[in-house]
Amino acid sequence: MFRTRFLILRVCLPHAVALVALLAAAVSPWTTSALAQAPRVVPQSAADARLSYAPIVARVAPAVVNVYAARSPDNRSVPMDDFFRNFLGPGFNFPRDQGQRALGSGVIVDAVGLVVTNNHVIEGADQVKVSLADKREFEADIVLKDSRTDIAVLRLKGANERFPVIELGNSDDLQVGDLVLAIGNPFGVGQTVTHGIVSALARTQVGISDYQFFIQTDAAINPGNSGGPLVDMTGRIIGINTAIFSRSGGSQGIGFAIPSDMVKVVVASAKSGGTAVRRPYLGAKLQAVTPDMVDSLGLKRPVGALVVSVIPGSPASRAGLQPRDVIVSVEGQPVDDPNAFDYRFATRPIGTSAQLGIVRGNRETRVSMPLETAPETARDELVVRARSPLLGAKVANLSPALADELRMDPSAEGVVIIEVPAGSRAEVNGFQRGDVLVNINNEQIGKTRDLDRVIQAGGRVWRFILVRGRQQIQAMFNG
């Protein structure tokens, strides 16, 4: 099964073919900084247009791998990708004895055998295999997976050698129009190289992952390319290919890559031995600036991230942020909307500080923001085993750290469902991960011990009040 994310648009832009100029620089002795500062030029003659990408490809291709992921078959039919369901119909499921398989691409970023791919390629898998460019195959362990960025890090098993790698570059050096190469295994046909340009930067309305800040390219990306590198003309990774806009499921010239600066954060967490990515905690709620807010906020145009509320004692509070402040930059990098802020903030290193440019009233000023992780409190996780509508669900006490993991309002409090096993009574009754349990049988639920006490008491009729997103829901079940 090919696992490359794609989104449907009614209108797609035509694929634009770009020819080159700076190819000779790819094999020159220039430094990276010199290359980044070199002027961009277009082909001046037919001879220029005959220049080749081959030197770059020869250098990076050995580090690009195929990733095969499988989940062992169980007693239930296996859900399919929407791509296949469109052809086979909503009622069709693959037989259980086939299990579930996924094919994607990846890239070696550390010579000890550390591989970066997309999280959606290996999501739910209990068996992962990596095939190198030289046809050798290795079993792989999942070191870290981060659904918020759609990045996963693997480690080759039994590897006692140094592997070829591609260095992670600086995605902030990119400019629209720069030449790029996409490398991967589209449709399982084998390693394939496509070329194009950077079509746009900082795409934030894509809806792929939590951090909406993507490189857009017209280099052909197809199912199977997911997790493969997008490389620049210095042969460095400047993005990890993750999704396409398409009417057919194939490339139509609008592909998206996760910027390398975000990939670096996930890789650093994996190398440090962490099982989760450590990110800075803000402690404030943000929203986009709309055109009708511009005058009242002292802005010239609708850009920035508007501070709606600040949690007392949080880094935002200690930095002096106030409601109605508009964050317009992070370390000098412009912030157009809350998505851009989230990206810029999340890519800053823990333990340091960040300078935020803000507009307060009609004046622009700066504040220094301490970069620290969200505070954690005792989660007191509990699996509901007593007979009840919640049977099988796992719950925990909310904390800022858990709220961050679940992508919830950082000020949320109470008991939250963190896991609903497939086929459990809780799933059958419609409970979902992220539901906050407020009241059960007229008893307020503040901690997991409250929930346990109410569940143990039992009942013939169960009345629930819960919060899902911004909506309060009431439900009633028979015992």
Q: Which residues are within 8 A (CB) of 292 and not within 5 positions of it... i.e. 6 or more apart?
A: none
Active site residue 195: no
Of 209, 226, 260, 388, which residue is the catalytic one? 226
Of 81, 150, 218, 325, which residue is the catalytic one? 150
For the stretch 18-53, what's the b/e string if a residue is b when 16 or more beta carbons lie within 10 angstroms of its beta carbon? bebbbbeebeeeeeeeebbeeeeeeeeeeebeebeb
Of 120, 199, 342, 435, which residue is the catalytic one? 120
Q: How many CA atoms, within 13 angstroms, populate the side-chain half-sphere of residue 253?
A: 10
Can you say how many angstroms the Cα of residue 276 is from the centroid of all Cα atoms in its chain?
Answer: 13
- Residues 6 and 435: their CA atoms lie apart, in Å, by 28
Active site residue 226: yes
- Residues 106 and 115: their CA atoms lie apart, in Å, by 6
**Catalytic residues, which ones?**
120, 150, 226
